[in-house]
Amino acid sequence: MKTDQSHILFAKAQQLIPGGVNSPVRACKSVGCEPLFVKRAAGSKIYDVDGNEFLDFVCSWGPMILGHNHPSVVEAIEKTLRNGTSFGAPCSLEIELAELVIKALPSVEKVRFVSSGTEATMSAIRVARGYTGRKVVVKFDGCYHGHADSFLVKAGSGVITLGIPGSPGVPEDIVKNTVSIPYNNPEILEKTLRDKKLDIACVIVEPVAGNMGVVAPEPGFLQKMRSLTAELGIVLIFDEVITGLRLAQGGAQEYFGVMPDLTCLGKIIGGGLPVGAYGGKRELMDMVSPVGPVYQAGTLSGNPLAMAAGIATMQQLAQPGFYAALEEKSARFARGLVMLAEKYLPGQTTLNRVGSMMTAFFAVGPVVDFDSAMKADTERYGRHFREMLAQGIWLAPSQFEAAFISSAQSEAELAMALEKTECSFKKLAK
């Protein structure tokens, strides 16, 4: 594998861009190598500037569920592009995508489009605070909800990947209104929510944690969260930036049968283009300006290219049998990973999977929360990452992220990936 051009570009980028990247995990620091610069992507593959080909399990951090450059999505973008790239005004595509989102998500009666998952989550908690007249946000250790000030308390994703305990520049006056508690601990959840001194406006949760690695909710955990928040008048927000349209067309709320008050969605609803959304009950969403007093705005919100790509993506996902086929493929691949781990690294790995998202932790299981995820051997993961990269397999450059299966990956490609994994596990076992 040649990396000459990537090395040259990274050196140049570091002179112009902080760390040479526009999102921290991309720097590949935690896996002990330099980043590859991608030139193009198609189907199940990405191709770097040095001409190397990689089978992609990152899928742009989840949204490329159809694979890269799906013909229907590309056609929709190209058709819309002829009419312009940005209007800063309403267009009919917003209505069409809103109808599809509301039809797909069981709890959503109205939806507002934004430009990122971070915008969606920060807007949702603003609505919750405006609706309840309360201040405090309850989140969960290791769950990442974007880089807004309120969320950088025991956050996941790049924050833990880089060993950052929070972030300078976040005022104490803001984070004092955020309470972070252990994921999958119903006793602490109930004690916290019943504490009348906390003045809790909302609980925000990744219904399946995806930013400390994949961690599924224990049976009954989401249901207890729903019953407690309903009883206490607390707004329940599902951050489905990763799980929305990924686990099922109706997201985690369909998958687990638990209906939140507000839902946040990310770039998967725009075919991977920069887009996000938040939506929910009519009475909550009618708090949003210009109907209500809670202000939120954005020039690129409802961007026509993103709307067109989202419509095309959702139409493909609505095809009969799509999710059943993806589940079967993911389950078969996961079984293969488990068999290899048991053969070469017995008692040293734990595979967590929900639907088409999974994480192989180099840790003695089970991994059920932030503390148990932090026991993973990140040095060993870095060795595995580099070995797989050398064999043409692109994994997330962090132990604390998910791997994703797309409909574009063939059974032959997944079998090949298992063969490469076997080679890596053999070396790690020595």
Question: Residue 8: which residues within 8 A CB-CB, separation 6 or more?
Answer: none
Tell me which of 48, 56, 141, 239 is the catalytic residue: 239
Is residue 149 within 8 Å of 174, Cβ to Cβ?
yes
Check which CATH number belongs to the domain holding 218 and give it: 3.40.640.10
Check which CATH number belongs to the domain holding 36 and give it: 3.90.1150.10
Q: Please give the pLDDT value at position 9.
A: 98
Tell me which of 29, 267, 278, 344 is the catalytic residue: 267
**Residue ranges making up the domain that contains 308:** 71-317
Do 203 and 335 reside in the same domain of the chain? no
Question: Residue 137: which residues within 8 A CB-CB, separation 6 or more?
Answer: 125, 128, 129, 150, 177, 178, 179, 200, 201, 202, 203, 204
Do 121 and 219 reside in the same domain of the chain? yes
Tell me which of 131, 144, 323, 344 is the catalytic residue: 144
What is the amino acid identity at position 245? L
Question: Residue 87: which residues within 8 A CB-CB, separation 6 or more?
Answer: 304
Mean pLDDT in order along the chain per 10 residues (430 residues)? 94 97 93 96 98 97 97 98 96 98 97 96 97 96 85 56 55 82 97 95 97 97 98 98 97 98 96 96 97 95 97 97 98 98 96 98 95 96 98 97 98 98 95
Q: What is the CA radius of gyration of the chain?
A: 21
Output helix, strand, coil percentages for the chain, rounded to the nearest 5.
Answer: 45, 15, 40
The sign of the CA dihedral 62, 63, 68, 72 is positive
- In the DSSP assignment, the letter for residue 36 is P
Question: Residue 335: which residues within 8 A CB-CB, separation 6 or more?
Answer: none
Q: How many domains does the chain have?
A: 2
Do 354 and 249 reside in the same domain of the chain? no
Q: What are phi and psi of 213, to 5 degrees?
A: 85, 165
Q: Please give the pLDDT value at position 430.
A: 80
Do 26 and 108 reside in the same domain of the chain? no
Separation of alpha carbons 119 and 171, rounded Å: 19
Is residue 423 within 8 Å of 343, Cβ to Cβ?
no
Q: Which of 317, 336, 364 is the last residue of a domain?
A: 317
Do 138 and 271 reside in the same domain of the chain? yes
Separation of alpha carbons 194 and 196, rounded Å: 6
Is residue 41 within 8 Å of 68, Cβ to Cβ?
yes
Separation of alpha carbons 222 and 216, rounded Å: 10
Is residue 215 within 8 Å of 373, Cβ to Cβ?
yes
What is the amino acid identity at position 25? V
The tokens describing 89, both together, are 């005004």
Q: What are phi and psi of 90, to 5 degrees?
A: -65, 150
Do 138 and 278 reside in the same domain of the chain? yes
Q: Which of 317, 345, 371 is the last residue of a domain?
A: 317
Do 197 and 230 reside in the same domain of the chain? yes
Going by C-alpha positions, the residue among 10, 31, 22, 6 that lies closest to residue 401 is: 31
Do 132 and 63 reside in the same domain of the chain? no
Q: Please give the pLDDT value at position 66.
A: 98
Do 153 and 298 reside in the same domain of the chain? yes
Q: Please give the pLDDT value at position 166.
A: 57
Per the DSSP assignment, residues forming a β-bridge with 53 are 47
144 is catalytic: yes
The tokens describing 223, both together, are 């249901």
Q: Please give the pLDDT value at position 165.
A: 45
Give all strands of the β-sheet with 357-361 in edge-to-edge order: 350-354, 357-361, 403-404
Separation of alpha carbons 117 and 240, rounded Å: 9
Q: What is the chain's length?
A: 430
Do 213 and 338 reside in the same domain of the chain? no
Is residue 276 within 8 Å of 265, Cβ to Cβ?
yes
323 is catalytic: no
Q: Which of 261, 289, 317 is the last residue of a domain?
A: 317
Contacts by residues 149-153 (CB-CB < 8 Å, ≥ 24 positions apart): 149/174, 149/175, 150/122, 150/125, 150/174, 150/175, 150/177, 150/178, 151/121, 151/122, 151/178, 153/178, 153/180
Q: Please give the pLDDT value at position 164.
A: 43
Do 204 and 252 reside in the same domain of the chain? yes
Give all strands of the β-sheet with 235-239 in edge-to-edge order: 110-114, 276-280, 262-265, 235-239, 200-205, 136-140, 178-181
267 is catalytic: yes
Separation of alpha carbons 425 and 430, rounded Å: 9
Instruction: Indicate whether this model's pTM tops 0.75.
Output: yes
The tokens describing 161, both together, are 């990947």
Do 234 and 289 reside in the same domain of the chain? yes
